[in-house]
Structure formats: C-alpha cells, structure tokens
Amino acid sequence: MSKANAINYKKGKEPHAREYRLVFKNVDRKGWDPGIDCYLQDGGYRELKKALLMDPVDITEDVKKSGLRGRGGAGFPTGVKWGFIPPNNTKPVYLICNADESEPGTFKDRYIIHQDPHQLLEGMIISCFATGANLAYIYIREEFPEGARILEKAIEECHQKGFLGKNILKSKFDLEIFVHRGAGAYICGEETGLIESLEGKRPYPRIKPPYFPAALGLYMCPTIVNNVESLCNVKHIIAMGGDAFAKLGTARNTGTRVLCVSGDVVNPGYFEVEVGHITMGELIHDLCGGLKPGRKLKAVIPGGSSAKVLRAGEKFKIKKGDQEIEIGIEDIPMDFDTLMACGSMAGSGGVIVIDDSRKASWILNNINEFYAHESCGQCTPCREGSLWMKKITDRITRGEASPDDVETLESVAFNIDGKTICAFGEACAWPTESFVAKFREEFLADTSEKYDDAILNPETELAAAHLSSET
Ligand SMILES: Cc1cc2nc3c(=O)[nH]c(=O)nc-3n(C[C@H](O)[C@H](O)[C@H](O)COP(=O)(O)O)c2cc1C
Ligand code: SF4
C-alpha cells in the first residue's frame, strides 16, 4: 500500500496529490522496470507466500469482506463471483484474466501489463490458489503485441523462480498460465465471447443463463473471468486484509479505482483514487486541470463509451443517508452506486469529457460507427439495429435527415435494449437512448423537413441523392 507521495516518480509523471496509488503504485515509478528482480526487490511475491499458507476458503472470504467489485465493467463483487463455483464440482476450474481492454475510453490495464506485469501475475496466482484453478489464461487483444511479449517473459521468469509450475514454493499447488492473443474484436472482451474465442471458435457470446462462466465456462467447466485491475487488487487484499481494504473508498464502493480521462480537458490521463472520494467536478477541474480555455462543460460519459451520457445542467436525485438530495453533474461522487443512481454507470472507468465545441450528433455518430462495426451479428436487433443507428446519425451529421429520423433513431435503440443475447445490445443502445433524450433539440435542429419523404418516396431526385450517399 502506498500513498502517492511516498515514492519517487518520473519527472512530469508524478501522481496528483489527491491520488491514492495502490494498483498503479509502480506505474511511471523512477528506476522501475517490469523484470522480476525489480519486483522482488520491492517486496514482490510476499503476498503469494502469505496466501499459500492460508486456507483457500479464507482467501475467498477475505476477498468477499474487502467488498472488491469487478473493474471490467459490471462492478460485480469479485468474492461473490468466486463463490459461484459449484460446491461439489469435480471438473477442472479455470481462471481467465480479461486483458482485452476494448471499451473505448479505457486505457488502464495496458499500463499495468507494460510496467508491472508481476503484480498481475501475483494477483492471478493467488486467485487461482483460492479458486482451485491449476490452469489460467491471460486473454489479450491483438493490438497489444508488446504487452503479450512482456507477459510471456514475466511468466518465464516466474517459472525460473518457482512461482509457477509444479509444487509452487513447496505448497503442493500446481499452476500454469498461458497468454492467449485475440484477433482484435470488441466482443472478445465480453466474457462468454472471450471463452468461445479461447476455445478456438468465433466469439459468439453465450446466453446467460445458463452459461454463467463460474458454473459453465471454458470447455463447460467452472471458469472465473476477472479484469486485470480486479486481479491486481487481490494481492493488496492479502497484504492488508479484507477488512482494512474495505475501509478504502466508501461503503459498498471500496478500494481504489483507476479512472482514465480523455476528451476536452487540459490534462487527460489516468488517476487512481479512492472510490467515491472525488466528485466529477474535482476530477475535471483539479486532477485534469480543467476544461480547455474558454470552453464550457457540455456532457460527460462516465464509464466507457457504452455508459449513458450525463448532461451539464441536469439535476440528479441521490440518497444521502436517509435523505434524498438533488445534485448537479459536477457534484457526483465517482462511485458505482451514485453513477447508477444518476442513470449511468461507472463501467470500465473510462471518463470521456465533452465541451461545448462538440455537436452531440457528431459524438453519437462516432460511437455508433464503432458499435455497428463490432456487433458479432448473432442477434438480429443488434446486428441490424447497430447499423441502422449508425446510418441515421450519419445522415444527421451530414444535414440530410428528416425530423422523423430522430424518433426512428430512438425507436431502433429501444428495440435493441434488453432483446439480445449479450450486454453488447445495451452497450450500443444506451448511447443513442441517452444522447437523443438529453440533446433532442440539438438533434432536431440538425434535421430538415425537406427530407421527410426521402425514405417513403425513394424515386424523387432528392431522396435518390440522399440514399445513395449512405454506406
Ligand atoms: C461488449 C462487452 C465488452 C466487454 N469488454 C471487456 C473488456 O475489454 N475487459 C474487461 O475486463 N471486461 C469487459 N467486459 C466485461 C466482461 O464481460 C466481464 O464482466 C469482466 O471481464 C469480468 O471481470 P470483473 O468482474 O473483474 O470486472 C465486457 C462486456 C461486454 C458486454
Ligand atoms: S447482442 Fe450483439 S454482440 Fe451480443 S450476441 Fe447479440 S449480436 Fe452479438
């Protein structure tokens, strides 16, 4: 455990005074390298030695007590997930580290992998010991070739030091970890799509229930899928104990979180903070140095591109103790529960800040283009709808849409949301639902009634020109 100011960091990379560096403790650290010797000199693998002397059940209990919630997107409690492995299981158990990091706006896991791979491996080995997994995979996207190489080297170093392989540190515990490189698809980050891909198939997500990985995962065996940052936290839970970890952050929103801020701020970047200890306004103005000169805040997408957008000037009702209070966007504490109460989510920690120089339709079109490209195509509403949403926002940005298009756009999104096999359906529908609801006037202002007949009467000259320009 380390406060930001207790360690020397590279010039210009020093953490902000309000940060609490736990998982990112070694990121940008002066004199630090990703090799095992450096890690060992800093007390690395001490927690593994401690954990191997513990009862695996007690480790899971500690993770439950810590209150750790998954950092991959859904915020599901990690210890509870581990507890879903069927009690009388006789099949092999697998653990998969989700290093796909595919959510737009998210860029934290790659820094851990590049600069502190042994922290991840230590967290993974402890997690495998706790869950009874003797085989684990790190699923990493194709676009991270350097990350894959660093991890493979780190795994080799672990073998040489006896932290992997047979009878690890004479504990009678055996474990192998393999790096598996994906082919670079967003849907491979969805845990069941990932598992299909790992099995060598197209990454078509499986329907839940029944295919919850903890019961029916890789090769239909119990499989724990956890995000890179979640698994790193396990090491720190062992170091400080579940109860002490739970004191970081706030109740039900414990520990720290790496927030990745991009968009219209002076200093975008990553910031590790205690969950719920800073507000959106403090994040933007203190940690990120504020908005660009002369600009006003327009909106924030708080948890990766699939999180619903929050508009500046909106009022949100949240619970404080027994009371309900009304707050504005800048007063929102950055935690799972408050962001959900405000109608969005903390998601993957990717905070996208939008100022008044941006058009809502341009942003939404950009997001829709991504989702239309990434739908796996298994479900009709998602496959067709994601493309239709993109076509309509494309039309709006070109100034060739009719006012009715805005309603159609919204209805396409509602016809995807909740009607698909995996949560990609919501991920692609929520941006449209929220952008249209919150910036309806702006969308309508970008349309013209002269295009009213374009779809119904495609034989007219205007309609023909308009439709032929669509992709
Ligand atoms: C479309 C989609 C993409 C996802 N991409 C990622 C990803 O890149 N990395 C990740 O950790 N989780 C991703 N998730 C969430 C995973 O399905 C899964 O919940 C997560 O890896 C579990 O880890 P956690 O409990 O530690 O958060 C994605 C989910 C969806 C629906
Ligand atoms: S919701 Fe979309 S991404 Fe998910 S399974 Fe269906 S088509 Fe594929």
Tens digits of per-residue pLDDT, 333-369?
999 999 999 999 999 999 999 999 999 999 999 999 9
Cα–Cα distance for residue pair 379/392, rounded to 1 Å: 20
Tens digits of per-residue pLDDT, 100-116?
999 999 999 999 999 99
> Confidence class of residue 4 from pLDDT cuts 50, 70 and 90?
very low
Number of Cα atoms under 13 Å in the Cβ half of residue 252: 6
Atom 8 of ligand 2, residue of closest alpha carbon: 376
pLDDT of residue 87: 92
Tens digits of per-residue pLDDT, 247-285?
999 999 999 999 999 999 999 999 999 999 999 999 999
pLDDT of residue 315: 97
Cα–Cα distance for residue pair 120/101, rounded to 1 Å: 15
pLDDT at 33 over 50: yes
pLDDT at 153 over 60: yes
Cβ(102) – ligand 1 distance below 6 Å: yes
pLDDT at 90 over 60: yes
Pairing of strands 297-301, 350-355: antiparallel
Ligand nearest to the CA of 419: 2
Q: Which residues in 190-255 belong to E strands, given as ranges?
A: 223-227, 249-250, 253-254
pTM (2 d.p.): 0.95
pLDDT of residue 456: 62
pLDDT of residue 1: 44
CA 384 / ligand 2 centre spacing (Å): 11
Q: 65: Cβ–Cβ under 8 A, 6 or more apart, which residues?
A: 79, 242, 243, 245, 246
What is the SS3 assignment for 54?
Answer: coil
Q: Could you tell me if 251 and 260 are in contact, meaning their C-beta atoms sit under 8 angstroms apart?
A: no
- Atom nearest to 71 CA in ligand 1: 27
Question: Domains of the chain (ranges plus CATH)?
Answer: 33-247 (3.40.50.11540), 257-355 (3.10.20.600), 360-468 (1.20.1440.230)
Q: Which of 442, 427, 447 is nearest to 386 (CA)?
A: 427
Cβ(383) – ligand 2 distance below 6 Å: yes
Distance, CA of 122 to chain centre: 21
